[in-house]
Amino acid sequence: MSTCQTLHFTDAQRRFLTVIAHAPSCDYRLVIRARILLACGTDPCNESVARTCGTNRGTVRKWRRRWLAAHDQCAAAEADSLRALRTVLQTVLTDAPRPGHPLTFTPEQITQLSALACTRPTDMGREVSHWTPRELADELQRQGIVASISPRHVGRFLKAGRPQTPSQPVLAQHRP
């Protein structure tokens, strides 16, 4: 199946894409993708669709291929209900998951680290007056908040919350 072909839509699919393409409150990425697909419904050339939509051929090619790959799924959803069709079309228009290493620590764990750092060490049965990264790492593991964490990593999380000082002066300097 060639990717440079005119796309075909059912009336419900075209209506849904048109609503997204003209929605003022919709995410701009979704608006552009809907406009690209609608333009591909009348024009088989990626280059002219890219010019019309203000994007590049690669983007048009990608969204044309994604629509063609989801054609059967859209047809099955539309046969089920319009709500199912809307869900499938939103899935088709959203970004695909990106590769990469999953997060090691959840936002909840980082929040718990910050909360623990704001408590007094003596309240946790520690014999120190101030938290150190080593003490915090040990306490996080003791409470079961994290399986393991290095003191250096604790320090990085705590340092990330501080404002950074500018490398250059912020205010203009008067030079005679």
51 and 111 assigned to the same domain: no
pLDDT for 2:
44
82 and 35 assigned to the same domain: yes
20 and 70 assigned to the same domain: yes
88 and 15 assigned to the same domain: yes
Region of residue 100 (left: phi > 0; alpha: psi -120 to 50; beta: else): left
The CA distance from 59 to 159, in Å, is 39
75 and 116 assigned to the same domain: no
Residue 1 lies in a domain: no
At which of 40, 63, 93 does a domain end?
93
- Residues of the domain holding 148: 107-159
How many residues are given for the chain?
Answer: 176
28 and 75 assigned to the same domain: yes
Amino acid occupying residue 18: T
* pLDDT averaged per 10 residues, the chain (length 176): 73 92 89 94 92 93 92 88 88 84 88 92 91 94 95 89 60 60
Residue 61 lies in a domain: yes
Q: State the distance between the two ends of the chain, measured CA to CA, in whole angstroms.
A: 72
pLDDT for 165:
59
pTM exceeds 0.85 for this model: no
Task: Give me the number of domains the chain comprises.
Answer: 2
Residue 100 lies in a domain: no
